[in-house]
Amino acid sequence: MSGIIQLLPDHVANQIAAGEVVQRPASVVKELLENSVDAGATEIRLVIKEAGKSLIQVIDNGSGMNAFDAKACFQRHATSKIKIAEDLFALHTKGFRGEALASIAAIAHVELRTCMEHDEVGTQLTIEGGKFMSEEPVVAPVGTSIAVKNLFFNIPARRNFLKSDQVEFRHVIDEFQRVALAHPDISFSMYHNGSEAFQLPAANLRQRIVGILGGKSNEKLVPIHEETGIARIYGFIGKPEFAKKGRGEQFFFVNDRFIRNGYLHHAVIAAYEGLLRDGSQPSYFIYLDVAPGSIDINIHPTKTEVKFDDEQSLYAILRASAKHSLGQFSVAPVLDFSQQENYDTPYSYKDRDAVMPAVEVDEGFNPFGNAAVKSSGASHTSSYRKTETASWESLYAGLASEEISMPAREMEFESDPHLPSLFEEAEEVQEQKTYQIHRKYIVNPIKSGMVIVDQQRAHQRILYEQFLGNMTVQQGSSQQLLFPLELFFSVSEMSSLTQLLPVLEATGFAFSNIGPDHIVIDGIPVTMSESETSIVLETLISDLQDGFGNSFSQNDAIARSMAKSLAVKTGTLLSNTEQQQLLNSLFACREPLVSPSGKPTYITMRVEDIDKKFTA
């Protein structure tokens, strides 16, 4: 008698497993790079096209595989990393479940070329949708080359859920950077659509970080190192003045494996207490070496979440280590302030008793006498002597009897000549029509009642329409800087910023030099100050990498992001003129009712509504 429960076919089971392992092209990049690292490769090359949607190829010079292993690695739960259950608690490698290649092969076209060191020929496999199409010997260099083409070709619904190429490319870069940072002793290179994105030779940890983030990042790194019985902590943390609004430069590695852990992140942030601006995040690249048996890495399909046996002790050690590094390198004050040598007590005075100073008083001293003033308690006679003069009463003789005979009206007094005022007389103060409440809302009386305006949202609407109009007509007003402003970004951030340059120039930016990790700005929009430039560009890059949310177009997203960054914030005191100008500009907008994010900019209260409050 047949039941209703049946075993799933292998190709269906592989597609279900692929939903957990392969979420986007970046997931494939992570699995393939980690396999190359486990194979002992010293050179790894990543080639992608269309952000990995059409091609992901990883080439390494690792140990390679023979013909049997090349075919077996695409079977479900086939792995060389573990043999018994106890091996799960002593893992030193990356992939161990044996699901990655089987899941990838089930949803893509895969071509594998591999050869071992002492073999004369290698093996080439072709798989489409989990089915082996061909297997043949081929001449190949030592190592493995695996190409994944047309990802999600047989699952169009999953392919339609992929984001734009810019967003997917950013995720690919994130995974590439995580693996490259975890293994600085391996040479990595990356190519996208035929152009080189990264070229990272084997180096030490500091050089690897600088190679990924750019040369300017070297000066913001502070080393951190601590060894205890629980864990060995080493790496670098960023100086507070280089903190950014985004969290893109925060990395935790446990046993050379990238992880996410909010608890340990809080430990690092606690070490920066009082050193960061509001809303800014520090950079850190922290590596933890712990006993493999003290962690559980098998709690999430992507293996980015790790469970520690003693998280509280690790929290305290990490927080103390970060705080010690900030204080040791004069980034933050510590209790043992350095002292100057001239403030220290000489060793010759170490055991000597203090001598109290002697005080002598000359009771016969007369400052008005003719005798010389004697120096009290001195071994020599003072050279000062009182001048021989008449009695002091004679100096004031006749003053009391003199009278002023000149009438007061005939006296002439000195006075400054009349000079014209440098400033015009202040105009008469106009009647105040607007009022600011709690430095957040602006109240303006109208005939039917009053209008209450949110100053931040209103200013966002005004700037949003201004920037959007400038982008449309390509005539944004610009103010030239007296001294060009040079800003430094990572290689991935510069690639994102380069896509925005034509639109930014339409808003009023002027660029003179664009390098791989820096940009020189000669002009900025008139609504922006020089100090706000770096904040605006960092926010734009962060929004672009996140896909700009639900924006209709790139221009709309950029205008919205810049308006949000430059709008007057809650808590800013506005003068009466500024309040009136804000209201006039708001009601001159095409859509004054809502902010760019769709929230109301003002509300209206009628007199009848106010009367009801008093009669209730």
**8 Å CB contact between 144 and 62:** yes
Give φ, ψ of 350 to 5 degrees: -65, -45
Say if residue 602's pLDDT is above 80.
yes
- pLDDT > 90: what percent of the chain? 24
What residues form DSSP beta bridges with 487? 519
Q: Where are the domains of the chain?
A: 10-202, 206-328, 435-605
Burial label, 541 (beta-carbon count in 10 A; 0-12, 13-18, 19+): buried
Nearest to 71 by CA among 117, 110, 34: 110
What is residue 159's predicted lDDT score, i.e. its pLDDT?
85
pLDDT tens-place string over residues 329-347? 756 554 444 444 555 556 5
Say if residue 255's pLDDT is above 70.
yes
What is residue 285's predicted lDDT score, i.e. its pLDDT?
94
Confidence of residue 428 (pLDDT cuts 50, 70, 90): very low
Say if residue 139's pLDDT is above 70.
yes
Structure tokens at 460: 């966002």
- Which fold is adopted by the domain 206-328? Ribosomal Protein S5; domain 2 (3.30.230)
CA dihedral 369, 375, 379, 381 (to 10 degrees): -40
Range 487-497 average pLDDT: 80
Say if residue 494's pLDDT is above 60.
yes
pLDDT tens-place string over residues 345-373? 565 666 777 778 787 887 777 777 655 44
Q: In what order do the strands lie in the sheet with 143-149?
A: 131-138, 122-128, 109-115, 143-149, 55-60, 43-49, 187-192, 195-200
What's the Cα-to-Cα distance from 48 to each of 129, 183, 191, rounded to whole Å?
20, 21, 6
What number does CATH give the domain 10-202?
A: 3.30.565.10
What is residue 204's predicted lDDT score, i.e. its pLDDT?
92
Q: Record the pTM.
A: 0.69
SS3 of residue 607 by DSSP:
helix
For residue 386, which amino acid is it? Answer: K
DSSP at 286:
E
Q: In what order do the strands lie in the sheet with 449-454?
A: 435-437, 441-445, 449-454, 602-606
Topology match between the domains 206-328 and 435-605 = no
Nearest to 94 by CA among 307, 303, 295: 303
Confidence of residue 234 (pLDDT cuts 50, 70, 90): very high
Name the residue with higher pLDDT: 244 or 575. Answer: 575
Confidence of residue 155 (pLDDT cuts 50, 70, 90): confident
Say if residue 418's pLDDT is above 90.
no
Ranges 226-230, 236-240, 425-429: which has the least confidence: 425-429
pLDDT tens-place string over residues 178-232? 999 999 999 999 999 988 888 999 999 999 998 888 777 888 899 999 998 888 9
What residues form DSSP beta bridges with 531? none
What is residue 303's predicted lDDT score, i.e. its pLDDT?
61
How many other CB atoms are there within 10 angstroms of residue 382's CB atom?
11
Say if residue 132's pLDDT is above 80.
yes
Say if residue 550's pLDDT is above 60.
no
Give φ, ψ of 309 to 5 degrees: -70, -40
Say if residue 509's pLDDT is above 80.
yes
Range 566-591 average pLDDT: 90
Structure tokens at 207: 């050089």
In angstroms, the CA 282 to CA 219 distance is 14
What is residue 112's predicted lDDT score, i.e. its pLDDT?
93
Nearest to 492 by CA among 51, 161, 187: 51
Confidence of residue 25 (pLDDT cuts 50, 70, 90): very high
Say if residue 379's pLDDT is above 50.
no
Spatial CB neighbours of 542, under 8 Å, sequence gap ≥ 6: 245, 246, 248
**8 Å CB contact between 265 and 250:** yes
Ranges 176-190, 281-295, 481-495: which has the least confidence: 481-495
What is residue 431's predicted lDDT score, i.e. its pLDDT?
58
Say if residue 558's pLDDT is above 60.
yes
Confidence of residue 415 (pLDDT cuts 50, 70, 90): low
Say if residue 93's pLDDT is above 80.
no
For domain 435-605, give the CATH superfamily.
MutL, C-terminal domain, regulatory subdomain (3.30.1370.100)
- Beta strand extents in 303-446 (DSSP E only): 307-308, 435-437, 441-445
How many other CB atoms are there within 10 angstroms of residue 497's CB atom?
20
Give φ, ψ of 515 to 5 degrees: -110, -175
What is residue 347's predicted lDDT score, i.e. its pLDDT?
58
Name the residue with higher pLDDT: 399 or 173. Answer: 173
In angstroms, the CA 498 to CA 195 distance is 14
